[in-house]
Structures are given as C-alpha cells and as structure tokens.
Amino acid sequence: MLLKTPVEVYWILTDRCNLKCNFCLSESDSAPRTQELTAAQRERVLHDLIEAKVLKVYLTGGEPLLIPETVDYVRRLRAHNVFTVLTTNGVLLDGQSIGHLADCGLNRLQVSIHGSTPAMNDEIMGGPAFDAIMKNLDAISKSGLDLHIKITATRENIEDLPRLLERLGAFGPS
C-alpha cells in the first residue's frame, strides 16, 4: 500500500525561544529573525498540511508559543481531524491558553522540565522556568489535556532524575 500523504510532520514554527537550555540546538532568544517564515508563509504551510491530509502534526520550535497564531493553528488543524501535538517549554502557558488549547481539541501537550528543584531546572533551561512549569503542569493535568512531560538527561541532571520523576508522579495517571 502506497500512502499519498505524509503520516506525520514536525513543523518548527520558530527557532526563537524565551529560554536558553544548555543542550538546545535552536537559536535561543526571542528576537525576530529575517529568515523566519512570515505569518502569510506560515498560513500557506498550514493550508498545504490540511490539503495534503497529513495525519499528525507536531507544532514545535524553539518555543512555538512565541508565534501569536499557534493556538489558531491548533484549532484549524483539529477542525480538519489532524492529530495535533504542541511541544512547549511550558513557561508561556497560563490558565487561559491551556483552556483555549483544550477547547480547540489539542490531542497532546508536551511540556519540558529538566530538574526537581528551581535551581537545577532553571540552570539547565537558562532562565526562570521551574515555578511557572510546575504551576502549568497542575493546570494542564486538571484540564483533561493529554500531558506528556519531556525530560532531557544531561550531565547536570542525571543524578537528579529519580527525584524529578518522583516529583512529577503527581501529574501521572491516577
């Protein structure tokens, strides 16, 4: 059987990010880039993904929530029954955006965290993130969204991973 459409697409909406994770390959600042797609070009990509009947789209980056239209992209992909995953560092989320994502029918929300304490996590992520992420993980788990937590093992956090997993157990299935 020959498929006539891509099964899944990883759409890097931006290389920009509000953090500077020490392991990340993306350009880590939030300044606009001249080589980044414009809103009109992203609109064309979205149209092409929908027209091609792609089965699954991962919206990722950098930090995709730096793109103002991201929640709208989720809504429009889901309206065309595209399985949609949003990968974020979790810092730019809030109760309202989490509610919008749930209302849009987002299939999966992937959030990164890399340490069991603010000091450990924020050193790895290159900025204050831990408290916002933990608050948002709680809100996400209450929203009914399918939450996947992403952890990158590094030299800095390898010994901390058991404590982090224990701490994150509160967000797992009950």
Residuewise pLDDT in 10s, the chain (174 residues): 677 788 999 999 999 999 999 988 776 665 666 688 999 999 999 999 999 999 999 999 999 999 999 999 999 999 999 999 999 999 999 999 999 999 999 999 999 999 999 999 999 999 999 999 999 999 999 999 999 999 999 999 999 999 999 999 877 654
* Integer angstrom CA distances of residue 75 from 49, 72, 85: 14, 5, 12
User: What pLDDT does residue 174 have?
Assistant: 46
Q: For 69, how many CA atoms within 13 A lie in the half-sphere containing its CB?
A: 14
- Containing 65, the helix (H) or strand (E) segment is none
Residue 109 tokens read as 């929300």
Report strand pairing: 83-88 vs 8-14.
unpaired
E strands, 42-165, in order = 56-61, 83-88, 108-112, 147-150
Pairwise CA distance, residues 82 & 75, whole Å: 10
Within 10 angstroms of residue 5's Cβ, the number of other Cβ atoms is: 11
| pTM > 0.95 | no
* Integer angstrom CA distances of residue 66 from 35, 117, 118: 16, 25, 23
Helix 130-143 and helix 95-104, axial crossing angle in degrees, nearest 10 = 40
User: What pLDDT does residue 80 have?
Assistant: 98
User: What pLDDT does residue 2 have?
Assistant: 75
Pairwise CA distance, residues 88 & 101, whole Å: 12
